[in-house]
Amino acid sequence: MATHDPHPDSPERASAARAALGLALVLALVVEVVFALTLEEHRGRHELDARVATIAVTRTAPRAVLLSDSISYGVLSPVPDGVLDLSSNQSVSTAGNAFLLARLADALERSRDDEMPRVERVVYVLSPMSFEADLRSERFLELYFTSVFNRRTERRAVAERLDRPELVTELEERALERWLHPPSYLRRGHLLRPLAEGLREADRRLRGGGELPGTAPEATVERIARDAALVELPVSEVTTQFLPLLAEAAARLGAEVELRLAPVPPSLREAWSTDGALAKLESELVALCAPLEHLSYGGPIPYEPPGDFAFYDGSHLHPVARRDYGEALAHELGRRD
């Protein structure tokens, strides 16, 4: 049986509704265009998105640049004047750090200021175990690499330096996928990241004012036992193939890159020193740097952890120890040779 709407919309109401919808769509389009034209991309997912967004708007050359894995991430508090902190995490690998430095060179070259001071030094600080990063992590590869470093030049560099066609394919897919997202989605980090950083800073202040534990946590003891059993500290193909690209990017900046080692638990350093794993790694790093201009191996950052208890998980420093390590790292970044 047919039914009838007892209160049908009048033609005028229907027309007004269509006009309102059309206006909303126009306003939404205008907002997206404004986002696209006024803000650099910043997805706000993690620290690497923030680093990329910072580089995109950098127009003044810093005196020094810090690249690092998560052990040194965020330890500079505050970041010294003249230092650009591009610390991130192990998953980025040497390839990602080379691309970060190349993007910085691109940004500074766009400023076209021939009188601008040049970058003096790039300090690349890694845990002895981070040189093995090889862009094969199922958990982190898309999040920290292929969804970030998929520019044409970056895809070409991966294709030329690594026999990894599947990695190149994923980079190409992520580059195309970017066009499926509206500009506001790709720039949401301008709102979200400051909130996350504020919470992180509050946590750092709360925990950094405490004291180190008297003994090493169980997680630290277990991690040290596992890592101490390593007979060698591998250097991945990604590291060997992209260190030259890192040096090339530094040359564009007029800078020198220093490879440095981040702190490890004292008992772990002793184990690696006793069985020769650490000496072998350092010899390999010296050999990799030797034929490359603008690249050298500078040894460990001069900070001695007070004990294994200074690490809350066997790799990362307790907030109190992070403060002391941050001061040592800041001193190194401020040093002028």
> What is the pLDDT at residue 5?
58
Three-class SS state of 68 = strand
Per-residue model confidence (pLDDT) at position 1:
54
For residue 294, name the pLDDT band (cuts at 50, 70, 90): very high
Quick one: how many helices (H) and strands (E) in the chain?
13, 5
pLDDT of residue 260 exceeding 90, the answer is yes
Kindly tell me if the per-residue pLDDT of 17 is higher than 90: no
Return the percentage of the chain with pLDDT > 70, whole number: 85
Residue 174's pLDDT is: 96
pLDDT at 114: 58
Please, which residues have CB within 8 angstroms of residue 255's CB and are 6 or more apart in sequence? 65, 118, 119, 120, 121, 122, 294
CA distance 68 to 88: 6
**Three-class DSSP category at 201:** helix
Grade residue 182 by pLDDT with cuts at 50, 70 and 90.
Answer: confident
Fold exhibited by the domain 39-334: Rossmann fold (3.40.50)
Provide the percentage of residues in the chain whose pLDDT is more than 90. Answer: 72
Q: Is the pLDDT of residue 26 over 70?
A: no
Q: What is the pLDDT of residue 275?
A: 95
Mean pLDDT across the stretch 215-220?
A: 95
CB 41 within 8 A of CB 186: yes
Average confidence (pLDDT) over 200-215: 73
User: What average pLDDT does the segment 283-295 reach?
Assistant: 97
- Give the mean model confidence (pLDDT) for residues 185-207: 72
* Token reading at 259: 């490879």
* Per-residue pLDDT band at 200 (split at 50, 70, 90): low
Amino acid at 168: V
Contact 45, 32 (CB under 8 A): no
Q: Are 100 and 93 in contact (CB under 8 A)?
A: no
* Per-residue confidence (pLDDT) for residue 31, from 0 to 100: 54
Q: Which residues of 244-253 are buried (b: 16+ CB within 10 A; e: fewer)?
A: bbbbbbbbbb
Query: How many other C-beta atoms can be found within 10 angstroms of the C-beta atom of residue 328?
Result: 15
Distance from C-alpha of 109 to C-alpha of 111, rounded to nearest angstrom = 5
pLDDT at 192: 75
The per-residue pLDDT for range 106-116, each reduced to its tens digit, is 999 987 665 66
CA–CA distances in Å: residue 117 to residues 108, 113, 254 = 11, 9, 9
Average pLDDT, the chain: 89
Are 35 and 183 contacting, i.e. CB atoms less than 8 angstroms apart? yes
Query: Domain segments of the chain: what residues?
Result: 39-334
Q: The whole model's pTM is what?
A: 0.87
Q: Which one has a higher pLDDT value, 189 or 263? A: 263
Collect all residues with Cβ–Cβ distance below 8 Å to 314 and sequence separation of at least 6. Answer: 219, 220, 221, 222, 223, 224, 227, 265, 268
Q: What is the mean predicted confidence (pLDDT) over 147-166?
A: 98
pLDDT 10s digits, 31-72: 555 545 557 788 889 999 999 999 999 999 999 999 999 999
Task: Supply 104's token pair.
Answer: 């910085």
